[in-house]
Structure 1
Amino acid sequence: MPALCFGTLPVAAGVFTLVWTHSVEHVRWAEDWRVDDGGRLQLVEARISGSAAGMEPPADAWLAGGVWHYRPSLPPQAELRLTRSPFVADYTLCDAAGCTALGARLPAGAGEVVQLQPCPGAADNGGG
């Protein structure tokens, strides 16, 4: 099974959802990611629970259950760099094990910037 790594800390997750709330507009965002066959992170779908100034859903988005859904045209990424702050709610990471605050999965002293990336060898271990 492909794994997602936070630096050197692996998490069994070939598919995961990253959730956060915008710090000013308080709009909830969610992104579904997967580790592709090339061992890169592919954004599959994104959702916005509402809209606000500068955070309008794209033209091809559809509204379902009060949430905007869309499929971003972002090329596969080698990593995601997330900046965390003690002044706003933490990111939530959801995978097969459930949903938890990102900080709960990180080692103490992880710092403000966290890199999420496929673990080395993810493409060789059935990633995708």
Structure 2
Amino acid sequence: MSICLAAGALVISLGASEITLSWRHSVQKSLWEEVWQETPEGLVITEARIEGSGAGMDPPDGAKLVEGFWRWKPNLPALPDVVMRRSSATADWRICVESRCRSLDELLPADADPVVMKACG
């Protein structure tokens, strides 16, 4: 099992069934991270965490402040894919696999948009 990134005809495997997707909010500059896992039902978000709140980034009820991040488990069904849009107005998405983090532009051409995260297969 592995999670892939697709941009047009280009598809790359991340070589892992669990990844952390992160980005910085365009206004607040707070770090937002989501842990995604491939399952037989699709992609499941197992944890979300943000460094702070404000500008539409308020943590939900039940979130806990741990090591500087508000953390919670979103109540979402498995998804077949996750579409990521890219903008030159913000820093690029980051993908972390087993604590090794890379900017999306290290994995795909900078003009690849949208990028779709999905189960390989």
Matched, 1:100 2:102: yes
Contact kept? 1:41, 1:78, Cα under 8 Å? yes
Match of 2:16 among 5, 13, 35: 13
Equivalent positions of 1:1-128 (< 5 A) are 2-7=1-6, 8-38=11-41, 40-96=42-98, 98-106=100-108, 108=109, 111-120=112-121
Q: Using CA pairs below 8 Å that are at least 6 residues apart, which structure has the higher relative contact order?
A: 1
CA RMSD across the alignment? 1.4
Matched length: 117
Greater share of residues in strand? 2
How many angstroms apart in 1 are the aligned matches of 2:92 and 2:73?
Answer: 24
Contact kept? 1:27, 1:52, Cα under 8 Å? no
Instruction: Report percent identity of matched pairs.
Output: 34
Give the structure-1-normalised TM-score: 0.85
Contact kept? 2:14, 2:97, Cα under 8 Å? no
How many angstroms apart in 1 are the aligned matches of 2:71 and 2:99?
Answer: 24
Moved over 4 A (4+): none
How many angstroms apart in 2 are the aligned matches of 1:19 and 1:97?
Answer: 12
Q: Which has the larger radius of gyration?
A: 1
How many angstroms apart in 1 are the aligned matches of 2:5 and 2:111?
Answer: 9
Give the structure-2-normalised TM-score: 0.89
